[in-house]
Amino acid sequence: MGKKLRIGIIGVGGMGSGHAMGIHSGTGNTIWSTQIDYVPPFPGEMTSNLPDYLELAGVYDINPARNEWAINHGISVFENYDAMLADPTVDAILIATPNHLHKDMAISAMRAGKHVLCEKPVMISSADMLDVMAVSKETGKVFYPRQNREWDEDYLIVKKIYDEKLIGNVFNIKCRIMGSRGIPGDWRGVKEYGGGMMLDWGVHIIDRIVKMIPEKITNLFCHFTYITNPECDDGFQLHLTFANGVTVNLEVGTCHFVNEPLWCVYGDKGSAMINNWNLDGKLVRLISWDDKDTMPILAGAGLTKTMAPRDGGESVEEFELPRFDFDRNALYRNFVETCNGEAEQIVSQEHALRVLRIMEACFESSETGKAIAFEA
């Protein structure tokens, strides 16, 4: 690792405070809130230490209470955002403000000679992203999208199953993010601020899927729900078809009081399931299609052999899910290495642009009620 970067954080609400404390505290763990002081590493986690490559120069928030919070935790506070940009010792800016402010803040930072690490969704439109990319090229400054969930262990498990064909050729993947508390009661429920679940959680699960499946999307169909909020989407169901024939169903909901599995993966030689964030689940692999002595089961008003479950024995074998050592802070390390000219961006600007365009197609599909031919 080359030069340690001094970074300023604009916005120290829920996400910004996590970044600030992770860098400032010396623990290197960025999972924080204003209610708890420390979250220990997860089992299997090999988290790198943020202070080894990032130094917190200071923060600023338009809410005086958040600045007071920072001071109470021993964190320096800038007078305003302009003062942060004017500080010659600040190498980079981490933007953790409401979504609609990202574009102007990112452009101002790069033109002030600062690299930028920007919270997701980096922009609220692909047109805005193109403008930011142009300024990044013009100034030679890194603009890095903080789309960090491709390092989550649940995703790494599914990616290994897909890449290594642990259940044969995968033909369908389902991922569901479910909650029961509606949209958070802040700016995330306001459309003009870039609120809604597609821009909040959709960006993550679309990001991961299109990283895992390096194929064009031939078409997509999406339906949004507005159960708890008439202005912003509080959930969606998205169906993607890829050029290699793989189909993916992605769902986010905030009015579900009984949760379905987090992941289901189906291949021609088996199936896998991750039930929850604790990574409870299993992988079932087919041994033989032959099961001639299957007893029919009672299915409602009739009997069926076709839908009779395989209960192990000679036809299927059950395995534990593969597990990983992972670095929760890998994105931050790659950001610093990219700024120092030592690495390429793992989450590229072009990738973030594609995700934004997919989300825009989702809104179009929901508004028109039609499937969208996307990259066919």
Percent of the chain exceeding pLDDT 70 equals: 92
Burial zone of 330 (CB within 10 Å; 0-12 exposed, 13-18 middle, 19+ buried): middle
The CA–CA distances, whole Å, from 292 to 298, 305, 374 equal 18, 10, 44
Mean pLDDT, all residues of the chain: 91
The mean pLDDT of 282-298, rounded to a whole number, is 85
pLDDT band at residue 292, thresholds of 50, 70 and 90? low
Only one residue has tokens 């800038």, namely 78
Instruction: State how far Cα 258 lies from the chain centre.
Output: 23
Would the pLDDT of 43 be above 50?
A: no
Dmax over CA atoms of the chain, in Å, equals 77
The confidence score (pLDDT) of residue 50 equals 81
**Identity of the amino acid at 349:** Q
Residue 218: partners with Cβ closer than 8 Å, 6 or more residues away: 241, 242, 243, 373, 374, 375, 376
The mean pLDDT of 281-300, rounded to a whole number, is 86
Q: Collapsing DSSP states into helix, strand and coil, what is residue 374?
A: coil
**116-162 pLDDT per residue, tens:** 999 999 999 999 999 999 999 999 999 999 999 999 999 999 999 99
The confidence score (pLDDT) of residue 26 equals 60
Of residues 155, 136, 134, the one with CA closest to residue 144: 136
Of residues 338, 325, 323, 327, the one with CA closest to residue 29: 327
Residue 97: partners with Cβ closer than 8 Å, 6 or more residues away: 10, 11, 16, 105, 119
Would the pLDDT of 183 be above 70?
A: yes
Report the DSSP beta bridge partners of residue 284.
271, 318
Percent of the chain exceeding pLDDT 90 equals: 79
Q: DSSP label at 74?
A: T
The CA–CA distances, whole Å, from 10 to 142, 164, 365 equal 17, 41, 34
Q: Please tell me the distance from the alpha carbon of residue 202 to that of residue 196, in angstroms, as a whole number.
A: 9
Domains of the chain: 5-149+328-344 (3.40.50.720), 152-326+359-368 (3.30.360.10)
Backbone dihedral angles phi then psi of residue 274, each to the nearest 5 degrees: -115, 120
Residue 160 structure tokens: 């290994």
**228-268 pLDDT per residue, tens:** 999 999 999 999 999 999 999 999 999 999 999 999 999 99
The confidence score (pLDDT) of residue 34 equals 44
* 328 vs 358, higher pLDDT: 358
The confidence score (pLDDT) of residue 37 equals 44
The confidence score (pLDDT) of residue 42 equals 44
The confidence score (pLDDT) of residue 186 equals 85
The mean pLDDT of 195-209, rounded to a whole number, is 97
Residue 71 structure tokens: 């001071």
- Look at the pTM and tell me if it is higher than 0.85: yes
The mean pLDDT of 198-207, rounded to a whole number, is 97
Q: Collapsing DSSP states into helix, strand and coil, what is residue 304?
A: strand
Positive or negative, the CA dihedral 261, 265, 266, 269 is: negative
Residue 321 structure tokens: 């899910």
The confidence score (pLDDT) of residue 36 equals 42
Q: Please tell me the distance from the alpha carbon of residue 235 to that of residue 263, in angstroms, as a whole number.
A: 17
pLDDT band at residue 312, thresholds of 50, 70 and 90? low
pLDDT band at residue 27, thresholds of 50, 70 and 90? low
CB atoms within 10 A of CB 252: 26
**77-107 pLDDT per residue, tens:** 999 999 999 999 999 999 999 999 999 999 9
Would the pLDDT of 31 be above 70?
A: no
